[in-house]
Amino acid sequence: MTTIPDPAQLTARLIRCASVTPDEGGALVLLADLLGAAGFECHRVDREGVPNLFARWGAKGARTFGFNGHTDVVPPGDPVSWTHPPFSGHEAEGWIWGRGATDMKSGVAAFAAAAIGFVTETPPPDGAVILAITGDEEGPGKHGTRALLDWMAANGERMDVCIVGEPSNPDRMGEMIKIGRRGSMTLQIEAHGIQGHAAYPHRARNPLHALLRLLYELTEAPLDEGTEHFDPSGLQVTTVDCGNPASNVIPERARAVINIRFNDAHSSESLDRMIRARAAAISADTKVDFAISTDVSGESFLTRPGPFVDLVAGVVREETGLTPVLSTSGGTSDARFVKDHCPVLEFGLVGHFMHQVDERVPAEQVRQLARIYRRILERYFA
């Protein structure tokens, strides 16, 4: 007989696996053993040294509900700063302490426990449950959930819908579901001029002047006023530098970095095209050349309200007594990859202590999240 794991205790066990990106630390081995014993077909999907786990219960091709999450964590910093050792999984007075307690070993433990309980006690006759768990969400993200989705496509695996178990609630359990995210891109902009004496500017071309002109044009007005489901896009200058220690020298080069979090009024391609066009116009006027490189973390996406969102929101409301706000706020998550595979949303714990010293989570909140996930599965396959 399969033993259904207590999600709080499983959280503590996972915390004791020191899985700082990209080290697996034994977390995926622990999960594969538990899921395999419950009848899940498990596959390690490692790529470029990044550990990932795919687990499916039920027939391939059946109606499938998926969960996505990660067991890797950010470094804990100086262990001396912690009340309890960061990988102790210490349990006291209703709290579980350790790196990953909030982000997001608790979420993985909750959906793993919910899935095991569901397929053991109330298995659907014609459905399947998939768990796609990565060890590369806190890192570059190139060989984590992306690798799992690539492997699934190559092996005929498919999720019809998916919940990413990231912490989604700002203050109270049940107050927010993430139905989308803004896109994110970073641009490195370098201006190339001609070095010269500050007293003889006609013999030089100041790249800082051209660069500052470009930055002013990009920031003088908002990119947009927001859309139906998104706040306004934001463009932030994060670095300006020319490496010039002398006050009487016009530098040869100057560089800036900008980060853009954009809504569904834009794409990374349209924003990149706009910035390059403005740089070209300034270059033609100033004779200062620009070199621009662009790194896109993800495009904006939205899972529009409908049956899937309504089902999850209804269960959250029943379990917590709160009507969740349907939000697109926050940074990025692996949902930005899953959205190309199937409809996806994010629902997880309250994120108060993620990435902090003394990261911790209430044990009962983890158990409540597992109950919500279990009820979602039951409702979906009813």
Catalytic residue positions, numbered: 72, 137
The tokens of 64 are what?
């499938």
Separation CA 179–CA 185 (nearest Å)? 20
Which CA distances in Å does 102 have to 41, 70, 98, 366?
27, 11, 9, 9
Is 359 a known ligand-binding residue?
Answer: no
- CA-CA distance, 209 to 224, in Å (whole number)? 26
Question: Over the range 92-106, which residues count as b (16 or more CB within 10 Å of their CB) and which as e?
Answer: eeebbbbbbbbbbbb
Nearest CA among 22, 84, 14, 93 for reference residue 51: 22
Q: Per the annotation, does 138 bind a ligand? A: yes
Residue 48 is assigned to a ligand binding site: no
How buried is 243 (Cβ within 10 angstroms: 0-12 exposed, 13-18 middle, 19+ buried)?
A: exposed
Q: What is the dihedral of CA 153, 158, 163, 165, to 10 degrees?
A: -50
Those residues whose C-beta lies under 8 Å from the C-beta of residue 175, and which sit 6 or more positions away, are 169, 320, 322, 324, 325
Long-range pairs for 265-274 at CB < 8 Å and ≥24 separation?
Answer: 265/223, 265/224, 265/227, 265/230, 265/233, 266/183, 266/223, 266/224, 266/233, 266/300, 267/183, 267/299, 267/300, 268/183, 268/185, 268/294, 268/296, 268/299, 271/185, 271/223, 272/185, 272/187
70 among the known binding-site residues?
yes
Q: Is 103 annotated as a binding residue?
A: yes
22 cis-preceded (ω within 30 degrees of 0): yes
Distance (Å, rounded) from C-alpha 272 to C-alpha 294?
Answer: 8
d(CA 296, CA 269): 9
SS3 state of residue 131: strand
Half-sphere exposure of 278 (CA within 13 A, CB side): 16
Q: How many residues does the chain have?
A: 382
Binding-site residue ranges: 70, 103, 138, 166, 355
Binding-site residue ranges for Zn(2+): 70, 103, 138, 166, 355
